[in-house]
Amino acid sequence: MAYPIVPAPYGLKAVSEFGGLPYAGSTRMYPIATGYSTGLFYGDIVQLSAGTVVATSMSATSTPGTATAGTLGVFVGCEYVNSSGQTVRAQYWPANTVSNNAVAFVIDDPRAVFKAVMTVQGTSLANTGTTVGYASANFIGTNLYAITGNSGNTNTGDSALALSGGVVSSGTSGNTRVATALPFRVVSVVPDTAVTVAATGSTSGSSTTVTLTASNSAISPGMQLIAPSGTGSAQGNYITVTNISGTTVTVSSAVTLASGTAISFVGYPEVLVVWNQGFIGVTNSAGV
């Protein structure tokens, strides 16, 4: 396992511009209504409602392939005057704060590249959950759901928003590739925090079914299968686990593995993503 370990989702963190330029930290200020009753956390997706910033209504389980009207971008702090007349710059917006001139700092750049944590899906879509999941290089160019139902951390001010792939057919929860329209596009995985799980297994001839000598709960759909011997299992074949149940692992393409083959399962808990066209306000012609 690589260091550092990724323990939980932390929202969306801007790391660069699409095309490779560094992210310069640019934001835009948008008003927050006095007394707004929902907490806004660093890394949350936010939108406009009647000219003020509110928490996103985007959800993995409610028309996730349709753009949410008024989506602004990513909340990265706020400024307001407290009851003592002091100007406060904060990591998050505390729910029900009363201030007549509060503003949110929002990354509304449609070309920003964000780093985020993958969480798992089971056999049906969920918009909550903080169990860390995995992608592989095979996910690059596919789309991800925004998991917006987790509550942010009032101690750190950080979001608990995550991303995920699609549901698995049965067995262990994980991630599968999604090509249909969703808010975010994978442009890279993050090698610094990759996780490697060692196992032993084989196939019956050329097959998409790999039988392990022992079950291993650390293996998850979304991981890449790599074996130094066998056919079709080299690192550059980008074979991905699509399902696992006990000692039976289903993979994306057929491989041939002899009895007792040493296998590595490599997963990336963090990915780099960009907004898909039309899912952020400045690329969507509809106003609010």
Give me the residue label for tokens 């956390």: 41
In this predicted model, which residue has the larger pLDDT, 269 or 281?
A: 269
pLDDT digits (tens, 9 = 90+) for 62-92: 999 999 999 999 999 999 999 899 999 999 9
Measured distance CA(215)–CA(138) in Å, rounded:
24
pLDDT digits (tens, 9 = 90+) for 119-144: 999 999 999 999 999 999 999 999 99
Give me the residue label for tokens 């918009």: 127
Domain regions of the chain by residue span: 15-112+276-283, 195-267
DSSP structure string for 110-149: TTEEEEEEBB-B-SS--S----B--B-GGGTT-EEEEE--
Note whether 95 and 40 are within 8 A (CB).
no
pTM of the model: 0.96
- Token pair, residue 140, equals 């690059």
Band of residue 286 on the pLDDT scale cut at 50, 70, 90: confident
